[in-house]
Amino acid sequence: MTGKDSYIILPGRGLKKGGTALIVRTRARLYMGADHLLCLYNTGYTEDYKRFYYKDIQAIVASGTSKGKTLNIVLGVLIALHALISFLAGNPWNIIFPSIAVFFSLFLVINILLGPTSKSYLLTAVTTEELPSLCRLKNALKVIDLLRPVIETAQGRLSTEDIRLKSAEIQMREMPVSVPAGTRSIRRAAPSSSVGPVSNYSGIFHIVLFPLLVLCAAYSAVDIVMNHIAITYAGIIIISVTVIFAILSAIKQHGSAMQGGLIGLTWSALIYLLVHSLLLYGIYIFTGIMNPASMGSQAKMLLLYTSLDPFGNPFLMGVQVLSAAYYFVSGIAGLVLLKKFRSSPRGA
Amino acid sequence: MNFFPIYCPNCRIPLPYQMYNTSGPANCPSCKNPVKAEIFPALFKETQSSAGDETMLLENEPGCFFHPQKRAVVPCALCGRFLCSLCDVEFGGRHVCPLCLAAGKKKKKIRDLETHRVLYDDIALALAIVPVIFIWVTVITAPMSLYVAIRHWKSPSSIIPRTKLRFVLAILLSGVQTTGWLFLFGWLISRA
């Protein structure tokens, strides 16, 4: 056992979610002390501590999530696309695209080696604490196995049968008669606001967003094979409307009962839409710079941009192929996840 | 009883008690993801009643410092005041009074009450390394790093024991930078 002032590092490290997560990365780790579990949040220059005494810990729950699988699929698609483009493109792209594919492959291998992702929380009589460091299921299971004996030493031991029997008794005693056991909350109806949903948003903006993403995929695909000013105008309108709906969806999903997959998909779609728009705008400006005669007129510049043939421009081809694939995959995945969410009790 | 429904962290649907303390992860009935719910006896612990606090003082019995009419049950481990069960705070295996507890937190004398620490060794090291990419900034940041490292040499760092290596590295790096700047300024002055 540890001494009074020493701690044992527990497996797993992760990033704490929070308002400043994008600016300041708060790393989380767990340490096992003599009589308490220490949750340490490190911003790089400061540390914050939360202590959970073994005698107060009521439960530790860990659940696998699909985040890791989704990331594997996205990385796989990106690797395949970059490999494909590197075969099609000439110099110097046949060096750049394989390098990007190798870069993504490294992430894929690391993600596979780290194992399935998970979400975990610790429960005491007065608080529910998410444990960001236990973001991989194998680490969460290891930590539970390490903590079980010390918690049982502090609290005494109850057999699994006794725990289930006591839980069943309480559930039967405190629950409305018409509701089946173990399916509804009992006394404290919901977890604290930090973990429970606070809005009853049912996904109206997402219903518009995901078909629009599929439309963006169609635009990107058509833009590869057809060069017409009408298609360029249609593309500008479609992408602009999609960006607006992506922003509205990202705002409305905050604090709702939506799960990580749907939330992450919306954010990644918004980020990709902005990156795609910037890339196309960059190509548009670059084309103008290369043809100074057209710089004075927006219409001339648009015509010039429309006349660009992706088959003669590997970069434009790469951007549009990648975009068509990304919009299609995220649009369809979004529609599937949204259907699942709306048919669940949380989205109904 | 303050019973709390154990819910799936992923879909937030309460888990049936059949899923508690299984040998390995079981699938959540709602999201079908593997879930491991480890429940401990504290979940079923009844809230302590305050009946014992009402015990009144009898003749020749020691009274509580804060509630003279109540019987003292334990002395404060820090100040020695007699405490009744209401004033007794069991903390880190010791019995302390609320005043010592508050003073300990304010003066950071009780390590187990600290919830925040500034890592001066990391700050000193960052001041010695990061500004190097901007070169000229080190005129200011190198002495700053030296100051932070020397001023906070004895300040408590992370609650997790660590060595003074960061401070040593910061002093070495910022010392080299400061010396370099001093030589440069000396050379410029000698040329003028």
Tell me what the mean pLDDT of segment B35-61 comes to.
72
The reply to whether residue A47 touches residue B93, judged by beta carbons under 8 angstroms, is no
CB A64 within 8 A of CB A117: yes
Tell me if chain B has a CB within 8 Å of the CB of A127: no
CB contact (8 A) between residue A144 and residue B28: no
- Kindly report which listed range (B71-75, B103-107, B170-174) carries the lowest average pLDDT score: B103-107
For residue A10, count other CB atoms closer than 10 A to its CB.
Answer: 20
Residues of A in contact with B113 (CB under 8 A): none
pLDDT at B4: 54
Residue type for position B159: I
Check whether B176 has a pLDDT greater than 90: yes
In percent, the amount of chain B with pLDDT more than 70 equals: 89
Residue B189 has pLDDT above 80, yes or no: yes
pLDDT, averaged in runs of 10, over chain A (348 residues): 71 77 76 92 91 91 90 88 76 76 93 93 88 94 94 89 84 57 41 52 88 91 84 89 92 79 87 89 82 76 82 80 88 87 69
- In this predicted structure, what is the pLDDT of residue B64? 86
For A61, the 3-state DSSP assignment is: strand
- For residues A221 and A154, the answer to whether their CB atoms sit within 8 Å is no
**pLDDT band at residue B152, thresholds of 50, 70 and 90?**
very high
Residue A140 CB contacts under 8 Å (≥ 6 apart), including other chains: A12, A62, A118, A120, A131, A134, B36
pLDDT score for A187: 40
Please check the confidence at residue B70 and state whether its pLDDT lies above 90: no
CATH 3.30.40 fits domain B42-114: yes
Per-residue model confidence (pLDDT) at position A90:
65
Q: What is the pLDDT of residue B1?
A: 42
**Per-residue pLDDT, A176:** 53
The answer to whether ipTM exceeds 0.95 is no
Give mean pLDDT, residues B17-21: 87
Percent of chain B residues past pLDDT 90, beyond the cut: 36
Give CA–CA dist B83/B148, Å, rounded.
43
Q: Is B33 on the interface with A (CB under 8 A)?
A: yes
Comparing alpha-carbon positions, the chain A residue that sits nearest to B32 is A64
B interface test, pick of A1, A42, A47 with most B CB neighbours within 10 Å: A47
Q: For the residues B4-18, what does the mean pLDDT come to?
A: 82
Give the closest-approach CA distance of B129 to chain A in angstroms: 14
- pLDDT higher than threshold 80 for residue B91: no
Q: What is the pLDDT of residue B161?
A: 87
Q: Is the Cβ pair B12, A125 closer than 8 Å?
A: no
Q: Is the pLDDT of residue B34 over 70?
A: yes
Q: What is the pTM of this model?
A: 0.66
> Do the Cβ atoms of B159 and A38 come within 8 Å?
yes
> Would you give the distance in Å from CA A169 to the centre of its chain?
39
Instruction: Pull the structure tokens for residue A318.
Output: 């790469």
DSSP B68-110: TTBB--EE-TTT--EE-TTT-EEETTEEE-HHHHHHHHHTT-S
- Cα–Cα distance for residue pair B164/A183, rounded to 1 Å: 53
CB under 8 Å to B187, separation ≥6 — which residues?
none
Mind telling me how many Å the CA of A276 is from chain B's nearest CA? 31
pLDDT value of residue A98: 84
- The mean-pLDDT minimum among A135-139, A223-227, B165-169, B181-185 falls in A223-227
Q: Do residue B14 and residue A31 have CB atoms under 8 angstroms apart?
A: no
* Chain B partners within 8 Å of A197 (Cβ): 12
